[in-house]
Amino acid sequence: MFNNQFKQIAIKAATMLLGVSLLAGCTPATTTTTTAGTTASGTIAATTTAGTTAAATTTAQTTAAATTAANDSLAKIKAAGVIVMGTSPDYPPNEFYVLDANNQKQIVGSDIMLGQAIADKIGVKLENKPTDFQGVLSNIQAAQVDMAIAGFSYTEGRKSAMQYSDGYATESEVGWQGILMSKTNAAKYTSLDQIKAAKLKFGAQSGSVQQEMAAKLTDPMSLKIMGTLDALALSLNAGDIDALVISTDNATNMLKTFSDLMILPKETFNLDPENLYAQNVVAFPLGDQHKSLIEVANEVIKAAKADGSMEKWRAEALELAKKAVE
Ligand code: ARG
């Protein structure tokens, strides 16, 4: 994180220096012209100076444009023949593992199908880079991946760290932000206020919006943040934590595996009633060089929504999720 911030600051500083040296390089020319202009007439001098400055700006802009073109993510991806995608495969039906015919773990899911469609559209291979969710966030910020699809919710807060595609799925249509608990514990609570007063040991996935929500439900000391949802589910089932904030769409497998767990009723315990976190988006690193790639992703999303692919992928992923492994 710090390294990355430092890197960004260093890049900014270097860019500024470059700008300064470009201008500095122009100074003698400007001075000469101005001097010549002044000799002829004051008015002309002003015009000439303005003209020269405009020309200098144009040169700077052209240089910037050339740099951007050379850096263009889409062009680089095409040249490499591969697009690298960050994802966190603990999240059925979006992304999860299944075993293939050779008992090898494969990453599958509706997000992976979308990633594949983006790769197909560009005409390159899709390479998944799996990490825990926090790792996906870090990799996007450090531009270690070209894009990330990991059930990312659109949030205003993350905009300073990444860019988004248009929304590709609306979570509120399939699930909501809720609380997972043992049935025995669940029977004790009839309101969110009671839950807050109990200062429960609340679990949530590191870096997720569920972490933000859990932080509002208990003391900082009682917050149990872990890397993967699999670890959190095991912990909850073992009684090491009391409750888990979760997107209900992604809890189906947990409920099946751990029959003593349940989701508290939506009427009373919906943690995002205004659906602030309901839009799922593809994430990209910051910077204009990713613009053309984002445009391609948006085209794919638009087409997949319109022609029913998105729904088809979800149905296929739900089917596959029955065979999910950790
Ligand atoms: N939607 C939530 C967020 O953006 C959680 C995403 C978790 N994704 C995952 N693959 N585990 O913070």
User: Residue 16: its pLDDT value, please?
Assistant: 40
Query: pLDDT (tens digit, 0 to 9) for every residue of the chain, 326 residues total?
Result: 344 444 444 444 443 433 333 333 333 333 333 333 333 333 333 333 344 444 454 555 555 555 556 799 999 999 999 999 999 999 999 999 999 999 999 999 999 999 999 999 999 999 999 999 999 999 999 999 999 999 999 999 999 999 999 999 998 888 999 999 999 999 999 999 999 999 999 999 999 999 999 999 999 999 999 999 999 999 999 999 999 999 999 999 999 999 999 999 999 999 999 999 999 999 999 999 999 999 999 999 999 999 999 999 999 999 999 999 98
With b for 16 or more beta-carbon neighbours within 10 A and e for fewer, the 241-250 pattern comes to bbbbbbbbbb
Q: Which atom in ligand 1 lies closest to the alpha carbon of residue 87?
A: 10
For residue 88 and ligand 1, the question of a CB distance below 6 A is answered with: yes
Q: Which residues contact 22 (CB under 8 A, 6 or more apart)?
A: 56, 59, 60, 63
How many A from CA of 107 to the centre of ligand 1? 16
- Mutation test residue for ligand 1: of 177, 205, 225, the one with most atoms within 8 Å of CB: 205
Q: Which atom in ligand 1 lies closest to the alpha carbon of residue 171?
A: 1
For residue 95 and ligand 1, the question of a CB distance below 6 A is answered with: yes
**Residue having the nearest C-alpha atom to atom 12 of ligand 1:** 208
User: Residue 259: its pLDDT value, please?
Assistant: 96
Tokens of 62: 């052209």
Task: Say whether 123 sits in a helix, a strand or coil.
Answer: coil
Residue of 318, 276, 259 whose CA lies nearest to 91: 318
92 — phi, psi (to 5°)? Answer: -65, 145
